[in-house]
Amino acid sequence: MKNTLRSQLGYWLILTSFSLTPSMGQPLPFEDANVIFITTDLADKQAYQAISQVLTEHSILFSLASDGMLISTKGNPSLSSQGAFFMGQVSVIGGLVKLTGRMHLSSEIDSSGSSERNITPIRYHTGKSTLAKAGFMYLDGLAHKLRPVLHGVIRYKVQKDPQRVDTF
């Protein structure tokens, strides 16, 4: 009888945890994830300072914007070899750090000088390597560098339209 109750309780706990997980975000990247969140116990200003320190230590270009920080990989050899660069945004609101971004093809600018159609939103997928996946993996690597200083947990989500990432 005791074992039956334990197994039923265990079953319901596992079922409940799986049913709640999608609403809170996934702890591992999943198909079409395009936004990364990191929880933090730091105040927003302290979180921005910690993020700035990590970006500086890893020689990642960044600038301050009204709604967060803009980051760029212009000059990064691993992405430049693909003829692309990453533009991302980091924002901190109430203990939640949001990371999102887009890949830009730097070598294909049309005759009008516009590169709008050469922008690929980042997203994770399990298939072959693409520019969108390369951008997501770059941002995921950055999230793992930020996690220790933010004292947080990384979660992945899909958002229909992550905020537009402006240029420097």
CA–CA distance, 25 with 104 (Å, rounded to integer): 27
Look up the pTM and report it.
0.74
Does the pLDDT value for residue 145 go beyond 60? yes
Q: Which residue has the higher pLDDT, 66 or 112?
A: 66
- Percent of the chain past pLDDT 70, that is, above it, reads 68
Q: What tens digit of pLDDT does each residue of 71-116 get?
A: 998 766 555 566 788 899 999 999 999 999 999 886 554 555 554 5
Q: Which residue has the higher pLDDT, 102 or 23?
A: 102
Per-position DSSP letters for the chain, written without gaps between them = -HHHHHHHHHHHHHHHHHHHHHHH-BSS--TT--EEEEE-SS-HHHHHHHHHHHHHHTT-EEEEETTEEEEE-TT-HHHHTTTEEEEEEEEEETTEEEEEEEEEESS---TTS--GGGEEE----SSS--HHHHHHHHHHHHHHHHHHHHT--EEEE--SSPPP----
pLDDT in the model for residue 141: 94
Q: Which of 159, 35, 166, 62 is nearest to 104 (CA)?
A: 166
Q: Which of 86, 97, 88 is nearest to 51 (CA)?
A: 97
pLDDT in the model for residue 157: 93
Which residue type, as a one-letter code, is found at position 1?
Answer: M
What the chain holds in terms of domains, given with CATH numbers, is: 22-157 (3.30.160.110)
Does the pLDDT value for residue 164 go beyond 80? no
Residue 20: pLDDT band (50, 70, 90) is: very low
Residue 143: pLDDT band (50, 70, 90) is: very high
Q: Which residue has the higher pLDDT, 137 or 128?
A: 137
Does the pLDDT value for residue 49 go beyond 90? yes
CA–CA distance, 82 with 74 (Å, rounded to integer): 12
